[in-house]
Amino acid sequence: MVVPTRDADLLYIKHNLHTYLRIGADEMILCIDEDSNQTFIDELNSIYDGIKKKYSNVSELKILKVEKRSDYNFHQAWVRRKGFLTAKNDVILTGDIDLHINKKVLKAVDIVGKNNVGLASLQKFQLQSNLNNSFTTVWRVFYLTFMRTFYHSVFTGLYAMYRPYWLETEDEKIKELKNPKFTKGFESVIGEDTYLRDFMEKKYKCVYLRDTGAIDFGIALHDDKRVQFTMGRYYLHNDRVLWQVLIAAFAYYHPDSIVGYFYEKNKIKKGLAKLHDVV
């Protein structure tokens, strides 16, 4: 397992680290910045010692200090990839520390590297929202029920992947990727995990499981109306047909993604944009 984190995530670490460590992995690599202070590192070791005392069969924890690289525009993209390269196994599960995971993630772990499957993603239940109202949470409870009934799922940042396929498919342009939180246009919806998936699926299968592998305590960037709109445009360039866009918009309560989809379709029709010209 590979999970990036930092001292600002300490509360998430206290709440969620044990869920990763109890899944049964050979090792868990917690990736932190090279310049992290010793107080933070001591706190991580203390939390780990407490987890080992409380639970049996806890995975080995490796705290990996990751240096900043000038050739990477988006530091977290390198942080996670340094973890991938350091892991001792080729089957790797990754997510963020604001996720409270469960054993359903093992379904993704079990299928990658077999039958041409390079990546398997699991659903997350998003508790918090940039839409700032409880209606979104209620809607998503309904959405999870809908998902289990009709089986439609999407890619998330909680996934297992097969390292040899990743090394084969991802190109050097990952270094040019920018932090989606501070960019506009398509760069705001192409995170480092989406970039990995987009290149993986050009040659290998990417499977989106309907199982909910985690509760997500983080704020959903894609709830922002501007990002919703851009995501709709991005759906078109990824060959998503209208019914798929409508289901995703319905499931996540993202009506602006529908507007973005038709906006981009009209631009292409008028010759103002070229299909697939995103990355």
The per-residue b/e assignment along 183-193, b for 16 or more CB within 10 angstroms, e otherwise, is beebbbbbbbb
Residues forming a β-bridge with 4: 31
Per-residue pLDDT in tens (0 to 9) along the chain, 279 residues: 999 999 999 999 999 999 999 999 999 999 999 999 999 999 999 999 999 999 989 999 999 999 999 999 999 999 999 999 999 999 999 999 999 999 999 999 999 999 999 999 998 876 655 555 566 666 666 665 665 555 557 788 999 999 999 999 999 999 998 876 655 555 544 789 999 999 999 999 999 998 889 988 876 556 667 667 777 887 888 788 888 888 777 776 778 888 888 988 888 888 888 887 764
Query: Of all helices (H) and strands (E), which one includes residue 61?
Result: strand 60-66
Selected from 3.90.1330.10, 3.90.550.10, 3.30.1370.160, 3.40.50.1820, the CATH number assigned to the domain covering 2-223 reads 3.90.550.10
Domain ranges of the chain: 2-223, 224-279
List, as one string, the DSSP characters of 187-247.
GGT--HHHHHHHHHTTTSEEEEEEEEEEEE-S--GGGSHHHHHHHHHHHHHTT--HHHHHH
> Interhelix angle for 225-237 vs 255-269, to 10°?
50
